[in-house]
């Protein structure tokens, strides 16, 4: 079985990565890290660059965890990609990071996290990044 981690290069993505690593180790399962972008913007800060992915590879390799990293560019939105990859990889768990949004922001923008929570055929662990103090 596989723990699928929805990764973005952000504090929320790092929180998902850490939680996914913990779950995979506890379960004795491999990890599939997924990073995706629709490719409909000139700059997408959620699409990981090579230094971001190198950091993920190094962390997972140092821990001796069996893993794969997939980047998907173009096509569907992140939620659809994650739901499909979770099904194809027979994921036992999907781990995603949550960012804070206002109620209006959720209403206007929709929520990939909500789509994943409702659409995934396996349990979903949604984690928040540690709160920062000013």
CATH number at residue 39: 3.40.50.620
Q: Can you say whether residue 42 is alpha, beta or left, with left for phi > 0 and alpha for psi between -120 and 50 degrees?
A: alpha
Q: What is the pLDDT of residue 99?
A: 80
Is there a domain that residue 101 lies in?
yes
Q: What are residue 106's phi and psi, to 5 degrees? A: -70, -40
pLDDT in tens, 65-86: 999 999 988 778 899 999 999 9
Is there a domain that residue 116 lies in?
yes
Is there a domain that residue 134 lies in?
no
For helices 50-62 and 11-27, angle between their N-to-C axes, nearest 10 degrees: 30
Distance CA 40, CA 4 (A): 24
Distance CA 27, CA 6 (A): 18
Evaluate if residue 101 carries a pLDDT over 80: no
Task: Residue 22: give the domain boundaries.
Answer: 2-128
The whole-model pTM stands at 0.88
């Amino acid at each position: 079985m596989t723990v699928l981690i929805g990764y973005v290069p952000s504090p929320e993505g790092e929180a998902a990565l850490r939680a996914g690593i913990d779950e995979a180790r506890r379960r004795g399962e491999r990890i599939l890290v997924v990073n995706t972008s629709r490719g409909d913007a000139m700059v997408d800060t959620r699409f990981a660059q090579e230094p971001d992915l190198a950091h993920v590879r190094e962390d997972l390799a140092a821990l001796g965890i069996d893993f794969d990293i997939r980047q998907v560019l173009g096509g569907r939105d992140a939620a659809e990609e994650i739901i499909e990859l979770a099904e194809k990889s027979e994921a036992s768990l999907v781990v995603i990071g949550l960012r804070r949004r206002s109620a209006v922001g959720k209403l206007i923008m929709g929520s990939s996290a909500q789509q994943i929570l409702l659409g995934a055929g396996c349990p979903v662990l949604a984690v928040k990044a540690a709160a920062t103090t000013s």
